[in-house]
Amino acid sequence: MRLLNKRAIVTGAGSGIGAAISCHFAKQGAKVAVVDINLEKAEVVANKICVDGGEAVPFYADVSNSDDVANAFAGAEMAFSGLEIIVNCAGINQKLTACTEVSEETFDRMFNVNVKSLYFTTLHGVPILAKYERCAIVNIGSVGGIRPRAGMAWYGASKAAVNAYSAALALELAPQRIRVNSIAPVRTDTPMVWYMVDGETVEKRAKMDSEIPLGRIGHVDDIAQAAVYLASDEASFVTGQTLAVDGGRLLL
């Protein structure tokens, strides 16, 4: 098992990519704190992991709230008697909208969840990781943060911040031997991507698939498997990198 006896906390873990990462981590031997703003969804994911023979504990947290994040990290460390892995997966996007038409409320919520959350997980999580060995942080960015597109300007800006911060944090934490990397997924088959385009249709899916060199949009397992690698000791000499999991989209 690639993460045997590792102790991890995953935010945004109640559904989509975060749920997949939590399940893949558990299959690879990790104990997982499943954190989500929707506690019922976190409980469902944690229960599934336990039924499948893994170990997981659900926690509530609005990642844009410092106290919530602090409580989740303290609870995870207490539950597992330590913590070595942080996965910052919680995130929200916007609908395809001109940059001048995005509401201030949408902008604030997006940056609070996508960017400010990293401030809180750093503030409350890094001092915990510093007590243990062979630790890793994996942040979920986006190809939109590398190659922004019209109609998604503010979302792209928030994810560019994730990528840039991950590299800076990697430098800062290297003396403590804490590795930090980010993953940049392409459009992935989750409710978030269909929200962006006002709902899924056969035609919309076909168009999205056609825009990817490998012929399909991402699956949550694609991202989860990359997260397993970056969190594992197999990546012990990898830090400060943004790994695009995009079916070749950035090559176009």
Residues designated as active site: 155
Q: Are 86 and 9 in contact (CB under 8 A)?
A: yes
Q: Are 97 and 91 in contact (CB under 8 A)?
A: no
Between helices 117-129 and 66-80, what is the axis angle to 10°? 30
The contacts of residue 233 (CB under 8 Å, 6+ apart) are 2, 134
Encoded tokens for 207: 């168009």
Residue of 236, 248, 250 lying closest to 3 (CA atoms): 236
Q: Are 187 and 193 in contact (CB under 8 A)?
A: yes
Q: Are 99 and 153 in contact (CB under 8 A)?
A: yes
Q: Which residues pair with 169 in a beta bridge?
A: none
